[in-house]
Homo-oligomer: A and B are copies of this chain.
Amino acid sequence: MKTILIYSGGLDSTVLLYKLLGEGQDVTALHFNYGQLHGQAEEACAVWHTAMREVELKYIRLPFIETDFRSALLEGKEDIPDGHYADESMKATVVPFRNGVMLSIAAGYAESVKAQTIAIANHAGDHPIYPDCRTKFIKDMNEAIMEGTDGLVGIASPFCNMNKADIVRLGHELKVPFENTWSCYKGGDLHCGKCGTCVERIEAFKLTGITDDTRYMEN
């Protein structure tokens, strides 16, 4: 089956990439750059994994998000809040309707290249803060995409009810080289270890007992 994967180069979508390849699917990875602070670090990881696994990588640049949308993720490092990923303060990192935009573009591309499925690695840990990661959103969006492509394209969201620890466990089974995946919202050379997504990453490895080879900044 031909699948279009929304692929950032982060831990979740990299585990999904390995899962889909393990199932023998014909994957094309779509990497979106929308001016996110950690875009360069994400992109380097996306390039590395797709090269290693011989997967086609397509870049989609959305410069209008950087110029016209509002989110701390599009501002300076100092705007990224430290703290737990489910804290109310993390709402500053929402990029409005980002998953809706990425899924819609992936749907049009999938129909164009005759792929039946778009895969996205949203998970239960995203639900408190990010409305466009929740189960109902994915269900509604799937309805809209099925209708708007005359039934040709649908969404697969296999991690929707898993948490990040479950994903780390699965990635470990699939031998994903986690150290070449990027999470930190602040970008840079090393993970900061303090922002919401770093905290979630550290917690997930701790919960599973799997060794975390990520290099975090020492503060």
Contact = CB atoms under 8 A, between A and B. Distances in A.
Interface of A: 58, 60-61, 63-65, 68-71, 95-101, 103-105, 107-109, 111-113, 131-132, 134, 136-137, 140-141, 143-145, 147-150, 153
Contacts of A64: 60-61, 105, 109
A144 B137 contact: yes
Q: Which 3 A-B pairs have the closest CB atoms?
A: A96-B111, A97-B108, A132-B148
Given A144-B140, A144-B144, A147-B134, A107 B96 contact: yes
A97 B148 contact: yes
Contacts of A71: 112
Contacts of A95: 108
Contacts of A58: 68
B105 A149 contact: no
Contacts of A98: 108
A102 to B, nearest CB: 8
- From A95, A99, A112, A153, residue with most partner B Cβ within 10 Å: A112
Contact of A108 (B60, B65, B108, B143): B65
B70 A112 contact: yes
9 contacts: A60-B64, A70-B113, A96-B108, A100-B104, A100-B108, A100-B145, A100-B148, A103-B104, A136-B147
